[in-house]
Structure 1
Amino acid sequence: MLFDPWNPEFVAHPYDVYRELRDTEPVRYFEPTGQWLVARHKDVNAALRDRRLGRSYLHLATHEEFGRPAEPEFQEPFWRVTRAGMLDVEPPVHTRLRRLVSKAFTPRMVEELRPRVRRVARDLVDGFVERGGGDLIAEVAEPLPVTVIAEMLGVPEADRHLLRPWSAGMCGMYELNPSLDAQHTAVRAASEFAAYLRELAALRRAHPGDDLISALAQVADGGDTLTEDELVGTCVLLLNAGHEATVNVTGNGWWSLFRHPGELARLRADPSLLTTAVEELMRFDTPLQMFERWVFEDVTIGGVDIPKGAEVALLFGSANRDPEVFPDPDRFDVARADNPHISFGAGIHFCLGAPLARVELAESFRALLEAAPALRLVEEPVWKPNYVIRGLESLMVSTG
């Protein structure tokens, strides 16, 4: 099988192809998307930290000056929202945004959320167990991060059902060569989400509460504050990045545990392994398989010269199975101690929400391990067609 991100068989199991890429052509041009695939951990890790590459080139040149076609006009509402957050911008704008957001979204704030995350996880799991099981993704994995981020932001409970569809719709734009329908869906979701957040932000500026939108609306550093666009873009990023990753680590992770019953039994017998298990779940079946970077000036990656204006596709899923870094990388080991996976990225764009994701994942798995010791799979799951943000359609289980 070849590297084919539109092939369901490849999406379901890309790891044999990754192995062949690492062994024979670790940096390779992929004609269908016009990208350079980068497969080895050391090259992916170095590229993430190399300031000659970045998420956007628009601080340096227009699309035309960079040799790229201009984006269709109808996409403008989507890019206005996403480029107002810190993920798709470069220094000095990125530096400024991250500094301001970090003042409101602190490690202490995340740790103070742990008891609330634990209660949400346990309530969801208790209801799931009472029903005897069902779709673990729809009934536990998805509601947990949506509830947590909605409470953090200050989104009223009555509106929270809107968040998941907006997030899923926007993330469709990040797939390779998205269809026209997917593009229009993403634009519509971005427009609706932004309009909702602008209204909520205006309310919080006038009447601040004990929530993250209120904190972001008031955060200041030497007179510098977030603009309304930046506040909206930050909130959208916090939901999309945090939510999609946590949902897919949960679904992919339980599927990995079911396929490795010895490791599941080991984790059930020794819950102290949960910390290392969460890291292994992120490494073994990575939720974000690919992360792209633009080349600002000629570079050499893995001995291959890549010209300015090119796009590199960093294969996180391949890097996390690289035997040069992970002994016996295809072995699933919930006690793996030395685990420098790059599922949260590296460099200046390292995931700001990583501490929150770890708390959510630990509490979700803990609740299920404790309340559903007989949790078992009732039907083999099917992977969504998406490759970049990779997860299961559903995960049907029984708790009895």
Structure 2
Amino acid sequence: MPLTFDLTAPEVVDDPYPFLAAARDEGSVQWHDGLGMWLTFTHAAANAVLRTRSLGRLWAPRTFPDAAPDETMAAFELIHVNSLLENEPPVHTRLRRLVAGAFARGHVERLRARIAELADRLADDVADAGVGGSPVDLIRYYAEPLPVQVIAELLGVPESDWSLLRPWSNAIVKMYEYRVAPEQRAEAERASAEFVDYLRGLVVERRARPGDDLISSLIAETDADGARLSEDELVTTCTLLLNAGHEATVNVVGNGVTALLGHPEQWAALRADPGLVPGAVEELIRYDSPLQLFERTATADTVVGDVTVEAGSKIAALLGAANRDPAVFARPDDFDVTRADNPHLGFGAGIHFCVGAPLARVELQASLTTLLRRFPGLALHDRPQRRPEFVIRGVQSLPVTI
């Protein structure tokens, strides 16, 4: 029987995991009438979706029944049709080789000390806001600005322009949900156009005066055949790094600190042994995944689990369900920072495995280490406010006392 539960229902958005577990009991892959696609509920099925080559990321412009006759999404389409995330080989192979080559120029190590410095500087802001026991929104003062600043440093965006990035990213990623209002589409298009124009200007500057930033490396990078990135591909790569890297990181911190402070014994374990931080970061990603759903399209009839996904049909890996699968994770609903065996799918798998995963891990470890060192008595002041979306799962506000 097709699934009918609404992924956008407030109770599902608030805590999807009981709904995903109940669905898993009915089958590893099931059809969802409302979304018009197959959904996976086990680790094995999600892993197959992410790795099977006949299930591709094939970008197609979305249509909306309530769209005005003159509505256009040209800038939004531009930053996706050229994206390595939305392409398959051979285009994906060329783009990923170039981006990986640019990353290999030492950007993660270059930023390691700077990330710790940025986290400490933001911790100063948290301390100032929390003087006298006042509640502090950890999202506003810490989790949200840190990844923006890291991506800005990576791309070489001047500090005077850092404030531009978060609103652009926030507007664009709302398009990844399944219910998007006309005003949200207009905001996403405006943000896409402004970001593209800004990046084109930055590319012109870096071509004239190269620096030690990733944009300069991407301009200089060639693959073995000498094929360079086009300007549209370069701009698209930069928007992908902001949207994917920033949104995921801010939501891992928000979801993760919420989990840690809701399990004070786990926070105490980290305080007692900071050496647990690298493993704890993986558990934060597994326990409350910042990306819940990743779509693929069948290019040929493909068997996943016990169903056949017909060519042209869509199937989505539900990463949150995969990361709570009891067939893979002992006590999957327990939050355990000492968990050793943790093959979560939070960074994806296969050819679309997150190219920025090494940087994200450095950033998340620095973020958590700084919070532990600076605010050992960190505690929840009030119930966190969840973002009202399912696909990108995060916390809008996280009131704490320090």
TM range (shorter): over 0.9
Q: Aligned residue for 1:67? A: none
Unaligned runs of 5+ in 2: 64-68
Q: How many residues align?
A: 390
Q: Partner of 1:217: helix, strand, or coil?
A: helix
Taking the aligned partners of 2:325 and 2:27, their CA distance within structure 1 comes to: 14
Taking the aligned partners of 1:127 and 1:81, their CA distance within structure 2 comes to: 34
2:315 counterpart of 1:312: yes
Aligned partners of 1:263 and 1:334 also within 8 Å: yes
Q: Aligned residue for 2:137? A: 135
2:288 counterpart of 1:290: no
Cα distance, 1:219 vs structure 2: 1.3
Q: Aligned residue for 1:3? A: 5
Taking the aligned partners of 1:287 and 1:38, their CA distance within structure 2 comes to: 17
Q: Aligned residue for 1:15? A: 17
Q: Aligned residue for 2:26? A: 24
Q: Aligned residue for 1:125? A: 123
2:214 counterpart of 1:212: yes
Q: Partner of 1:386: helix, strand, or coil?
A: coil
Residues 178 and 317 (structure 1 numbering): CA distance in 2 closer, same or farther, change over 3 Å? Answer: same
Counterpart code for 2:152: A
TM-score by length of 2: 0.94
Cα distance, 1:295 vs structure 2: 1.0
Residues 107 and 379 (structure 1 numbering): CA distance in 2 closer, same or farther, change over 3 Å? Answer: farther
Counting only pairs closer than 5 Å after superposition, residues 189-200 of structure 1 correspond to structure 2 as 189-200=191-202
More displaced 10-residue stretch of structure 1: 21-30 or 116-125: 21-30
More displaced 10-residue stretch of structure 1: 75-84 or 42-51: 75-84
Counting only pairs closer than 5 Å after superposition, residues 1-400 of structure 1 correspond to structure 2 as 3-56=5-58, 74-106=72-104, 108-132=106-130, 134-221=136-223, 222-399=225-402
Taking the aligned partners of 1:281 and 1:3, their CA distance within structure 2 comes to: 26
More displaced 10-residue stretch of structure 1: 378-387 or 238-247: 378-387
Unaligned runs of 5+ in 1: 65-70
Per-residue Cα deviation, 1:67-96 (whole angstroms, up to 9, x for no partner):
xxxx99712221111222211111100000
- Percent identity of equivalent pairs: 52
RMSD: 1.9
Q: Partner of 2:84: helix, strand, or coil?
A: coil
Per-residue Cα deviation, 1:104-134 (whole angstroms, up to 9, x for no partner):
1128421231111111111111221232151
Cα distance, 1:63 vs structure 2: 9.9
Counterpart code for 1:225: R
More displaced 10-residue stretch of structure 1: 202-211 or 364-373: 202-211
More displaced 10-residue stretch of structure 1: 42-51 or 212-221: 212-221
More displaced 10-residue stretch of structure 1: 179-188 or 14-23: 179-188
Taking the aligned partners of 2:253 and 2:59, their CA distance within structure 1 comes to: 34
Residues 219 and 367 (structure 1 numbering): CA distance in 2 closer, same or farther, change over 3 Å? Answer: same
Taking the aligned partners of 1:38 and 1:241, their CA distance within structure 2 comes to: 22
Q: Partner of 1:29: helix, strand, or coil?
A: strand
Q: Partner of 2:385: helix, strand, or coil?
A: coil
Cα distance, 1:223 vs structure 2: 2.4
Which consecutive aligned stretches of 4+ in structure 1 deviate over 6 angstroms post-superposition? none
Per-residue Cα deviation, 1:326-358 (whole angstroms, up to 9, x for no partner):
011001100100000000000000000101111
Aligned partners of 1:33 and 1:177 also within 8 Å: no
